[in-house]
Structure 1
Amino acid sequence: MSRLKVLFIFVDGLGIGPADPATNPLCSPQYPCLARLLANAVPLDACLEVEGLPQSATGQATLLTGVNAAKQMGRHIEGFPPPALKKLIEHENLFSKLRKIGKQPTFANSYWTTDPHRIPPRRQSVTTVMTLSALGHVRGRNELLEGKAVTHDITRWTMHARGYDGPLVTPETSAGHLLDVAEENDFTLFEYFLTDRAGHSGNPELVSRSLENLERFMAGLLSFSEQPNCLLMLSSDHGNIEDGS
């Protein structure tokens, strides 16, 4: 029997909103794949039994450690994890736990660098902290250009500002690259956070672009779940983009 392979798509700021197309862009007929996936979603309480507005750092840390990070820290923490939360991630992260039982995890996102030590500690996300702690490296420029990684924006459209001078790729092409990565690993994680940025921006064009790319990308990944012993997972840390009110 072939070993189980898991492809985990983490989408920042993607919630289950009301079925009202006037306020919820996810109700648009433009996104049938996302609608199908969300129709089968299991709602969770992003507040994690802690008062206040759910935030990315503690929400993501909870998903990727199994520890209620908001309760552990005594508050919700946004953005990049501070030192105390970093320690929790380094000690309890999913990648390290998988490696201890002989599994091979990987983070499929690419950084536009050839040296992970050039990522400033204060700019390391939850996923970056976990990956560097458990694996000691991240995918960089070389892996991206070889089709062995995917940028956080799926199509590379934000990367020119960071020095990338190559062509854009389609969401379908990036989905193919991610499937290739997932084929070589037991657990593959990809993070997409432009949904959260778009939700905060209030810019309808950015909301539409981020959802259209995600729609096409996810449609290109559905074949993974149709293979024997393959599990495709979609999750988020809190809502945002579904609330256009």
Structure 2
Amino acid sequence: MIFYMFIDGIGFGPDDPETNPFSRYAKSFFLPLAGKSIPQNATPFLKNTVFLKTDASMGIKGLPQSATGQTSLWTGINACKVLQRHLSGFPTFTLKKIISKYSIIRILEEHGFKADLLNCYTPAFTEYVKKNPRHVSASTLIQMASDKPLKGMEDLRRGKGLYMDITHEYLKEFSRGYLDESDELFQIRDPYLTGKSIVRNCKEDDYTLCIYEFFLTDKIGHKMNWEAAEKYIGELESFLAGILEELNPEEDQLIVTSDHGNLENLSVDVHTLNQVPTVLYGKYTSKMEQKIRSIVDIPSAIYGVLGIDIELKDEEFIKTEL
């Protein structure tokens, strides 16, 4: 099973606690994002991770942005090259066409593999999407392109998916009027145990690929919020520790990456030009690390280890009107 986690807006920064919260707060998984080494007394799982410094600009000048970056890392098509610019926010008509054809979830399903987006959505969000179809993120679109339903609260209740903040702290705020105040979903989750349980459940359900998006890191970066940075760096490190502990490196693969830098420099409220991490652990690490130089290379690396033969052509979309 391949567990592919996307953490929005994290890059490699200097070991400077005045600007880089990873320098100040990271204790394990994120130490390399502050130029630090994984300590020798770390768990065997953590010591065997490989951190690749990965290009997020993809040959186009300017600050990397979410719509083009995420489209690229979930389709294998260089969306920046197609548009000849970096695009923030939600995918345009052209990017939606790319996702519709080359969604990694769709491609795997068409080749007989089981793949899914683990993010679970509230009824309020699904209603909002119906009323505002243009305001749909790339992650949501890769699931919709596969004709698979978005996961909801019942999936979350059964441990078949994850909420956007892992711990459910935000769930009550976004579920008023839909869930009873006493619902057990409002109980705060332990991120470490959640990491372990989601891997177990994905393996029990015989998935080949599971994708999870965590986007609060980018929001924290834009707000330059040190207190929130400390909180979520800690929670993410606990979550990833649980994932690493539950994965079998002889059978499974972890991929963690991002679309652009941001959180590693809280002296500014915009994205950065820093390289982003692609963190690998598990069965296919040696093969994947040879192929990944840019975030757009990740889908091709996944297809390669699964034996999927597919030609990804940027040129197919370059003449499309925006």
TM-score scaled by length of structure 1 = 0.91
Structure-2 change in CA distance of 1:221 and 1:97 (3 Å): same
**Correspondence for 1:138 among 146, 150, 172:** 150
Could you say if the C-alpha distance between residues 209 and 29 of structure 1 is closer, same or farther in structure 2, counting changes exceeding 3 Å? closer
- Which entry has the higher C-alpha Rg, 1 or 2? 2
Q: 2:244 is matched with which residue?
A: 222
The separation in 1 between residues aligned to 2:253 and 2:158, in whole angstroms, is 25
Superposition pairs for residues 204-243 of structure 1, below 5 Å? 204-243=226-265
The structure showing larger relative contact order (alpha-carbon pairs under 8 Å, at least 6 residues apart) is 1
Pairwise CA distance, 1:115: 9.0
**Paired residues of 2:71 and 2:99 also in contact (CA < 8 A):** yes
Map 1:28-177 onto structure 2 (within 5 A).
Answer: 28=24, 30-35=26-31, 36=38, 40-113=50-123, 116=126, 119=129, 120-163=132-175, 165=181, 166-177=186-197
- Runs of at least 5 residues in structure 2 that lack an aligned partner in the other structure: 32-37, 39-45, 268-322
Counterpart mapping for 1:18-29 below 5 A = 18-28=14-24
What percent identity do the matched residue pairs reach? 32
* Alpha-carbon distance in 1 for matches of 2:124, 2:19: 42
Structure 1 position 14, deviation (Å): 1.0
Counterpart Cα distance in 2 of 1:224 and 1:240:
29
Counterparts of 2:146 and 2:124, CA distance in 1: 18
SS of the equivalent of 1:228 reads: coil
Query: Is the CA contact 2:196–2:246 (under 8 Å) kept in the aligned structure 1?
Result: no
Query: 2:17, 2:192 → 1: CA distance?
Result: 26
- TM-score, length of structure 2 as denominator length: 0.70
**What number of residue pairs does the alignment pair up?**
241
State the 1:170 CA deviation.
1.5
Q: Helix, strand or coil: the match of 2:113?
A: coil
RMSD (Å), alpha carbons: 2.1
Give the letter for the 2:96 counterpart.
Answer: K
Which structure 1 segments of 5+ residues have no match?
none
